[in-house]
Amino acid sequence: MSDTAPTAPTADVVTATPANGNTRDMPASSPPAKLMQRNRAWQGPDAKARLRILRGAKSIAIVGASPNPARSSFFVATYLQASTPYRVHYVNPRATEILGEPVYPDLASLPEVPDIVDVFRRPSDLRSVMDDALAVGAKTVWAQLGVWNEEAAVYGESKGLTVVMDRCIKIEHARFHGGLHLLGFDTGQITARKTIR
């Protein structure tokens, strides 16, 4: 028997309670942990609601934007800047320019209140980003793929925010406009089908 007290789970560890009732910690990236994520209790906006969010938005602030072309936030920023009518703002206290545009240290420094705050941060940072979004008057917080924090989502909704989590805004926008397969890959098809605008 150990004299040390059990440690609290970190962001990279989840506590699992399988059907046999034996609670244990496991890596968040493990297959069982990923399987458990499919049974999440919180439900965000459905596809029609997400489409309404994207249709109603004029500006997007990317929190955690990176000037590194290898990062997913850069890929999403490139798409939003080149393929959508949105005014895109970048938030990162350690960068000065992304895709030829200025980078702001925080949401409060932006030249306008963004309609959507797109989050590329750790799940544990989501609540503080929601507080920042609320402070500037933003209405929607959209957390990118892999960013899931149910407690933060419930908190944000209780304060009046619309919350989307674990969804790529680029994939969602392109899919709704006919450019991508459901999984986010280019369909490679040219069609005469009218797309949703």
Global pTM value? 0.73
pLDDT digits (tens, 9 = 90+) for 46-73: 999 999 999 999 999 999 999 999 999 9
Q: What percent of the chain has a predicted confidence (pLDDT) above 90?
A: 64
Give yes or no for residue 190 having a pLDDT over 50.
no
Give the pLDDT mean for 133-156.
Answer: 96
Q: What percent of the chain has a predicted confidence (pLDDT) above 70?
A: 72
CATH code that applies to domain 47-176: 3.40.50.720
Domain boundaries, the chain: 1-39, 47-176
Give yes or no for residue 115 having a pLDDT over 90.
yes
Give the pLDDT mean for 163-175.
Answer: 93
Complete DSSP assignment for the chain: --SSPPPPP-TTEEEE--TT---EEEETTSHHHHHHHTT-S-----HHHHHHHHHH-SEEEEET--S-TTSHHHHHHHHHHHHS--EEEEE-TT-SEETTEEEESSGGGSSS--SEEEE-S-GGGHHHHHHHHHHHT--EEEE-TT---HHHHHHHHHTT-EEE-S--HHHHHHHHTTSB-TTS-B------SPPP-
